[in-house]
Amino acid sequence: MKRYRFGRLSMGWQIMIGLALGIICGMLFYKNNSAITVMQSLGTIFIRLIQMIVMPIVVSCLTVGIANIGDIRKLGRIGGKTLIYFEVLTTIALILGIVMANVTHPGSFIDIHKLHATDISQYMSTAKTAQHDSGFWPLILSIIPTNIFKSMADGDMMPVILFSVLFGLGIAAVGEKAKILIDVLNAVSEVMFKVTNWVMKFAPIGVFGLIGMTIAEMGISALLPLGLFILIAYVTMLIFIIVVLGITAHLFHLRYWKTMRAILDEIMLAFTTASSEVTLPRLMKKTHDMGVEKGITAFVIPTGYTFNLDGSAIYQSLAAIFLAQAYGLHLSIAHQITLLIVLMITSKGMAGVPGASFVVLLASVSTIGVPMAGLTFIAGIDRFVDMGRTAVNVVGNSIATLVIGESEGALDRDKYNAYLDNYGKTNDSSTTPGTKPEAE
């Protein structure tokens, strides 16, 4: 006889409860510095726990995956496809943001001089440094690590990816003598995924802290003056998810809505924490469980977190034109094409820069005559929009992994269909369908 156990909620429901409690506590403890410190600490603990395990997972999974691929020409083909896909999708996202800004004219409905300005000095200093180091050769040099352990400690993803690719190719070239390294790295990845499961039990508390801190610092009232801009930003992101990614999935014969259901917990986690990084370990495991070869998942997802930021692209183009409209600037087609090209270049040139979305805006808006000071008026609501764009980034990278896997014949269709059909039927949706959850 089947026993029903009450009191055990799915990760998605736990995150939603954490979100709701965070909003309530944030409103109750508005501007209460002691409460803000406690909630901020809870959120920071969770983020740091995730950061602790991300790099070991990326190095172990990517190295083993590349070693199993072995063929450098095949690896080059996968890398080329991945970067072309990223460029096409992010360009579409930028264009969509520009089109929606022109259709809805959100900047025409506000008096920018009545908005509250927020300090953006931290972004200004980052932007100056990033602009100084931008360009083709500085970008190439930033990818090459001088000390792999320093890159791992700094969370610098691209040098770690390059090292892991070369390390994996080296293991494949050595052959049987290096087999012990594959066994060790496989064990490392299994151990780190186990640690991930433990860390994720703290996720609802982390979400509670991050949301509570945000609401307590800014208050719900911070949303009201720019409510229309926030609404249009979210509508644009939904259009991208439903239409653009939906069509992309259909072209590659993916079961889009069932895939979305399978990654719903990760979407909610990304949304509530405004951090793509917290979902990386789970997404790598989940897309592999869906049938994508480990080498593809371990390469596409970490690379996507640097180069495939669809939600960020939408926000950047939409925000730039919103500010131009708010200042009463008329932008010709030529101006908007210039903005598109500048955003395409700067977003890649500043990949991996802290607060990259806002920094890219700082580096780009001056090309269309918008004063940099204008960004002080939207900085206050950046966190609320960041939640949406982070969720879009997670969906985009999940679909990218499946698309590249399908294009390479590296997606096991039987496994993919079985995973989606059985998802949610096990006791714990975080386990792979067909496997037993851990004994308690």
C-alpha of 14 from chain center: 21
Cα separation, 320 vs 107, whole angstroms? 10
Mean pLDDT of 255-270: 92
Summarize the confidence of residues 241-270 as an average pLDDT.
94
Residue 144 exposed, middle or buried by CB count within 10 Å (0-12, 13-18, 19+): exposed
Q: What's the confidence (pLDDT) of residue 261?
A: 93
Question: What residue spans define the domains of the chain?
Answer: 11-422
The whole-number pLDDT of residue 252 equals: 94
The pair of three-digit structure tokens given for residue 377, joined into one six-digit string: 């008026």
Task: For residue 80, give every residue at least 6 positions away whose Cβ sits within 8 Å of its Cβ, in sequence order, or none.
Answer: none
Q: Is 328 left (phi over 0), alpha (psi -120 to 50) or beta?
A: left
Which of residues 217 and 21 earns the better pLDDT score? 21
Does the pLDDT of residue 172 top 70, yes or no? yes
Largest Cα–Cα distance in the chain? 70
Fold observed for domain 11-422: Proton glutamate symport protein (1.10.3860)
Average pLDDT, the chain: 82
Query: In whole angstroms, what is the distance from residue 56 CA to residue 62 CA?
Result: 10
For CA atoms 319, 323, 328, 332, the dihedral sign is negative
Pick the most confident of 3-17, 44-58, 177-191, 388-402.
388-402
The reported pLDDT for the residue numbered 434 is 40
Pick from 119-123, 250-254, 267-271: least confident = 119-123
What is the reported pLDDT for 353?
52
Q: What number of residues does the chain have? A: 440
Stretch among 58-72, 77-91, 360-374 having the lowest mean pLDDT? 360-374
Element (H, E) at 337: helix 333-349
Mind listing the pLDDT tens digit for each residue in 79-91? 889 989 999 999 9
* Mean per-residue pLDDT, 420-432: 63
Residue 133 pLDDT class (50, 70, 90 cuts): low
| Mean pLDDT in residue range 96-121 | 75
Half-sphere exposure of 98 (CA within 13 A, CB side): 19
Sign (positive or negative) of CA dihedral 84, 87, 302, 252: negative
HSE, CB side, 13 Å, CA atoms: give it for residue 324.
24
Q: So what's the pLDDT on residue 436?
A: 41
Residue 171 near residue 63, CB atoms below 8 Å: yes
